[in-house]
Amino acid sequence: MSGSDEREVLPQFNRQHYPHSHDSLLGEALGIGQVAKLLGCSPWTVRQKYLTQGLPHMRTCSAGKIVFFRGQVIDWILKRQHKKGGDRR
């Protein structure tokens, strides 16, 4: 691809090469700021409180960026609500 506005699409990220990807199960990848907004808290709270409570995430490398997947975050929220009786209204 040429042009400064176009990004090269690497084969490993091209959906044509992976028609059975897990996008529908995991949802979109989110950064810590996006997860904080979804949970209604600060990125600090996500890092210090919710990661230690089992919020599903992965690191891109040992000292790298933390990545979350929307579907996993929502499932985690729903399970916590269920445990605490949050959906019994």
Domains, the chain, in order of start with CATH, read: 29-89 (1.10.10)
The Cα–Cα gap between 8 and 32 comes to 26
Cα dihedral sign, 48-52-53-59: positive
| The model's pTM | 0.65
pLDDT in tens, 14-35: 445 444 444 567 889 999 999 9
Task: Cite the DSSP H helix spans in 28-69.
Answer: 32-39, 43-45
Under the banding of pLDDT at 50, 70 and 90, the label for residue 83 is: confident
pLDDT in tens, 43-62: 999 999 999 999 999 998 88
